Amino acid sequence: MPFRLVCVLPVLTLVVAATAHAQSLNSGECIGDLDALAPYMLANDAGSADYVAQRGRASFDAALATARTTAAAAPNDQACLEVLRNYLRSAFRRSHLSLRQIDATVPNAVRASAGAPSFRLLSRQTALIIIPTFADQAGGAIEALIKEHAKDIAQRPNLLVDVRANGGGSDWTYKPLLALAEANIRRDVGAQIWATPANAAASRAACDVFAPLSQQCRDRMRQEAEAIDRAPAGTFIAQPGERPLEIVEPRDVVPHPRRIGVLVDKGCASTCEEFLIAMRQSFKVKLFGQSSTGSLDYSNLRPWTLPSGKRRLMYATTRSLRLPEFAVDLAGIPPDQVLPTPRGVEDRERELAQVQRVLESARQ
């Protein structure tokens, strides 16, 4: 199973430090960042060559020319961020690619997460687990939650897992949930790393940005960087310790839950989508809600600071071996049962109740 480290913003976003006024921009600074961004992406992003080939070099060159014109007129950092954001979106892709303003007043540390996992008993038949994030820091809490409520889960035939708005994280964090779904053989398809010297350096820097307190992250990123160092530059290589295809045999199959409903929406991205692919292979599992984001084909985001030192790029360093036959980014992962998009908190609760009713209406 891949060890995926991503920021939890699955689509290209603009994050600006909170300031009273927009910072002024030095002459040529924005163009300098743009001129460095284009070749860096082409050389190091795992999906850029594919996207340029699909759209054509002329389209790529036109996007850069347009961006240079607007960058030259950018009056401040916020405007420059908008220019660079639009360029990345038009020349490359919207998902698994982000650009942020670096806030010098905030050290690299564990930032506010999407929330802790939680557990509820919905009825004598159904339990609910809510997983707002698969971020590296949430892994221990997810495991502890399932252990704490193991008896409640085992006493009920149905389990509902809510991963709405879960922007992803690290794949290892959802393993305890996979254990509850074991029923038959599962096939996990891996990914390949795009090996370049810059990507080795980015892997070594990743944990300082994503998970500074995680020793597991540091051990894994060290192995990854060393593997990249050994590889010829400009080649795809296997992820350390991962197989291209892993066939997982069911072992400790638990009788309960017999049925698992996974509630998903457009906010489920990256590792959350990897979770969906793994879970839906089980005969126990059905997906409910709306299609996921579509942010998985090019993954494992790594950081790179632009020449100005004011902005940080998060870009993809791996390409899924599912491609080209099974592309997720085109339309996301569809649910087995489509539900109307909820408009507010009350609608979200009604959506939960709808899935609970489906699970409890099963006759076997």
Whole-angstrom distance, CA of residue 342 vs CA of residue 51: 33
Q: State the Cα angle at 334 between 168 and 332, rounded to 5°.
A: 50
* Per-residue model confidence (pLDDT) at position 54: 85
* Per-residue model confidence (pLDDT) at position 96: 85
- pLDDT tens sequence across 264-276: 999 999 999 999 9
Residues 6+ apart with CB under 8 A from 19: none
- pLDDT tens sequence across 132-146: 999 988 999 999 999
**331: β partners:** none
Whole-angstrom distance, CA of residue 167 vs CA of residue 174: 13
* Per-residue model confidence (pLDDT) at position 20: 33
DSSP string over 106-163: S-SSPPP-S---EEEE-SSSEEEEE-S-B-GGGHHHHHHHHHHTHHHHHT-SEEEEE-
Beta-strand relationship, 14-15 and 98-101: parallel
Instruction: Please check whether residue 217 is in contact with residue 136, taking contact to mean a CB–CB distance below 8 angstroms.
Output: yes
Using CB atoms within 10 A of its CB, is residue 73 exposed (0-12), middle (13-18) or buried (19+)? exposed
* Per-residue model confidence (pLDDT) at position 51: 87
Residue 236 — φ and ψ, nearest 5°?
-90, 135
Residues 6+ apart with CB under 8 A from 150: none
Block residue for tokens 């942010």: 295
In 3D space, the residue among 270, 304, 108 whose CA is nearest the CA of residue 199 turns out to be: 304
Those residues of the chain that have pLDDT short of 50 are 6-22, 105-112
* Per-residue model confidence (pLDDT) at position 13: 38
* Per-residue model confidence (pLDDT) at position 108: 47
Instruction: Please check whether residue 101 is in contact with residue 15, taking contact to mean a CB–CB distance below 8 angstroms.
Output: yes
* Per-residue model confidence (pLDDT) at position 104: 54
Residue 214 to residues 139, 206, 254, 260, 271, Cα–Cα distance (Å): 10, 11, 31, 30, 18
Please tell me the pTM assigned to this model. Answer: 0.82
Beta-strand relationship, 298-305 and 245-248: unpaired
